[in-house]
Structures are given as C-alpha cells and as structure tokens.
Structure 1
Amino acid sequence: MGAAEPDEVERIVAEWRAERPGLDPGSIAVLGRVNRCGLLVRNLSNRLYDEYSINQSIFDVLAALRRMGPPYRKTARELAASSLLTSGGMTMRLDRMERDGLIRRVRSTDDRRSVFAELTPAGFALIDRIIDVHLERERQMLDTLTAEEQEELARLLRKLEHRLRELS
C-alpha cells in the first residue's frame, strides 16, 4: 500500500462523511484502528501459542507466575484480578493447566482457605521457551516505529485505557 493510498479505516471515515456530512466519524479513525491492530496482534500472537499448544489465557497465567520470582505462585484471586477474569473463569483455566502439568495448587501454610497456583518445572520451562520468541515477535510488530514513537504511543494508549476504565 502506498503512503497516499487510503486504507480501509480511512475509506470508512470518508464514506460516513460523504453519506452523513453532519456526522463526526473521527472516532472511527482512532478506535477502528485500535480495534484492527488489536485483532492483528491477537492473530499473530495466537500463531505462536498454537505452536506450543496453548492459548492467550494460559500464556497470561504462565507469564504472571514467572514474573513473580521464586516460588512462582499467586492465588487464583490475584491471577483473576490481573487478567480481568471472574474467579470462576480463572478456576476453569487453572483446572486445565493443572491437568496439563503446568501448575500445581498449593495450600497456604498461613491460611488453609487460601490456595496458590504455582508453576511446575514443566510450566517454568514452557514459559521460558515462549517468552523470548514472544517478545521478539512483538519487537518485529513495532519495528516500524522509532523508540520515541513507541514511547509516545504507549503514553497515549495508557491515557485512552484510563478513560475507558472510567467509562466502564
């Protein structure tokens, strides 16, 4: 696609402006593009997850536990809060991961009602294999932007995310 050639989002905005001159479709130029980028990122990421027979949800839990440092554990409630899932949704995810040998459940010695999800050696090895490739692919996705542009985009997206959380 040439630089002067309009893309699909620009065509949609132009069509609305032509069809409804009083309508302001400017938000489509931003949010339409954010949505499209999100879908493309998800599709590219899913290719990697498919190579390892996992999905985005499992990757997120493995990464959250790995980032904790030893003993690589969090409660289901903590994991659910960080992923915006219900506790029921997290329980189902953890059940699958436990069956697959990626995590084990460990009761707290301080509070027997509290149960941790803890990385197993297999889960630890899997996330360590995937994370390098995952981050390299993300770098490739962003390599069209300079470091300064990436920082500015991250700042603007954070501002947008904050506003969306206020509205939800």
Structure 2
Amino acid sequence: MDHVAAVHAQWRTERPDLDTTPLLVIGRIHRVAAALTPELTAVYARFGLGEGEFDVLATLRRQGEPFTLSPGELAARTMVTSGAVSKRLDRLEARGLVERRADATDGRARTVVLTPAGRALIDDAMAAHVANEARLLEALGARDRDTLARLLARLAESLGA
C-alpha cells in the first residue's frame, strides 16, 4: 500500500460519511509532480540551465526558423510574468544564448532571438530531456502511457489548464 492509499484508508475509517476516493487521484498526481521536478531539473542543470531558462530556450527553438518571439509572446507561451521572462532573458543573454534585437517593423519593440550557441545547447539539452522523460516512464507500457496522457489531457482541459 502506498502513502496515498494509507491516507485514504485512514480517512475511510475516521470519516466513512465522506467519499475520499478523489484523494487517490489528486494525492498521487501531487506526489508524482513533486517527485518529477528534481528528476527533470537535474538534467537541465547538466547544461547549466534552470527550469525557466530551459523553458525559454525550448520555446524559442520549437518556433522554427528564425527562432524569434517578442518578450510578451514568450511570457504567454511560458505562462510566466513579463518580469520573470525579463530576468530569464538577462541570464540567457549574458551567456550568449539569446539576443534582444529591435523589431524590424517597429523600432520601439524588441524581439528575442535564439543564437546559434543557444540552439546548439537547447538541441543537446532537449535530447537529454526527452531521454530522461522516457526513462521516468519506463514503468508504463505504451498503452498505459497513451491512456494516462489522454486522461490527464481531459483533466487539464476540465480545469482550464
């Protein structure tokens, strides 16, 4: 019996009037998320990146050529505040991984461009990240992964996430 099942059993004994079965799902999602974070960030750290920096580089990279977004678009696509994006960009720019440039059509606006060094780093980091995620899911077969992905997508949609 895992920790969540033990907690559920205790609540069934103490409060049999409550349907505590949602604890079995939400509790496990919470524990899995907490266990995954250090597993994921350890890979980012191998490339000298924090979670937010990895996210910015990956977001730029998956846009395709010319690997450019405005700071506002980056904030929207990484789901953080513009202030958080600005701090991440400061760190990445200092390392030569991104550049901020004047927008070609509006000199007051800025765009963020992934540099060749940034592209090489995120390509290597992304390959390691995907391999790590595959390792983390080894306990599930392909069918179970597909089912879990589908169920989590449905839950996320119902929560507006």
How high is the TM-score relative to the length of structure 2?
A: 0.94
Distance in 2 (alpha carbons) for counterparts of 1:84 and 1:25: 32
Partner of 2:77: 82
Choose from 112, 135, 139 the match for 2:134.
139
Partner of 1:97: 92
- The amino acid of 1:26's aligned partner reads T
Choose from 141, 151, 154 the match for 1:159.
154
- The amino acid of 1:57's aligned partner reads G
* Conserved 8 A contact 2:97-2:118: yes
Choose from 112, 117, 132 the match for 1:117.
112
Where 2:10 maps in the other structure, the secondary structure is helix
Partner of 2:52: 57
Where 2:23 maps in the other structure, the secondary structure is helix
Distance in 2 (alpha carbons) for counterparts of 1:116 and 1:57: 18
How high is the TM-score relative to the length of structure 1?
A: 0.90
Structure 2: 5+ residue runs without aligned partners? none
Partner of 2:67: 72
In angstroms, what is the RMSD of aligned CA positions? 1.3
Shift of 1:112: 2.1
Distance in 1 (alpha carbons) for counterparts of 2:122 and 2:81: 23
Choose from 91, 103, 106 the match for 1:108.
103
Moved over 4 A (4+): none
Percent of aligned pairs with the same residue?
39
Distance in 2 (alpha carbons) for counterparts of 1:22 and 1:107: 63
Shift of 1:113: 2.9
- Which has the higher relative contact order, 1 or 2, with Cα contacts under 8 A spaced 6 or more apart? 2
Q: Deviations over 1:65-116 (max 9, x none)?
A: 1111121111111111111111121111111111122110011111223211
- The amino acid of 1:161's aligned partner reads A
Shift of 1:52: 1.8
Shift of 1:151: 1.3
Q: Does 1:130 align with 2:115?
A: no
Choose from 19, 25, 32 the match for 2:20.
25
- The amino acid of 1:132's aligned partner reads A
User: Where do 1:10-21 residues align within 5 Å?
Assistant: 10-21=5-16
Distance in 1 (alpha carbons) for counterparts of 2:44 and 2:98: 17
